[in-house]
Amino acid sequence: RVSLEEVLQWSQSFEKLVTSKYGPVIYKTYLKTEHSDENIEFWLACEAYKKITSQRKRISMAKKLFTSYIQPQAPKEINIDSPARKAIIRNIQEPTQSCFDEAQRIIYMHMERDSYPRFLDSTFYQNLKHSLQNNGS
């Protein structure tokens, strides 16, 4: 169960939100209301991708990431610039551990600059915080 302490830490930095236990799940729920939950999904998938040690699994996961998020008209296409997209297209045949790093960095910055401040101001976050504060007292 999410604690008030954890929820309050999320307002300190975006990094605290995405690296906490419940933060990514709750943030994703909020992003769904903005129709941009593909951003956190992609970021989390990249975090998992970087931990893959088997080349066979890496190739399989890289293709999944590409078809889901990167290729034009992908079902959950993310908003990255053309050079980042082209670099991934070039590297996808022999995917390295870092081949999605630039796209992941761009998406992280989008979330940190755009949706994260809106999340903190949202009634969604404020209601969660207040409900936990009221339960504690």
User: Does residue 133 have a pLDDT over 90?
Assistant: yes
Query: Cα–Cα distance between 137 and 8 in angstroms, integer?
Result: 16
Range of the domain at 123: 4-135
In this prediction, residue 88 carries a pLDDT of: 95
CATH number, domain with residue 39: 1.10.167.10
pLDDT the model gives residue 137: 59
pTM score, two decimals? Answer: 0.93
Q: Report the chain's mean pLDDT, rounded to a whole number.
A: 96
The domain total for the chain is: 1
The three-point CA angle 129-21-128 to 5° equals 15
Interatomic CA distance for residues 103 and 85, integer angstroms: 7
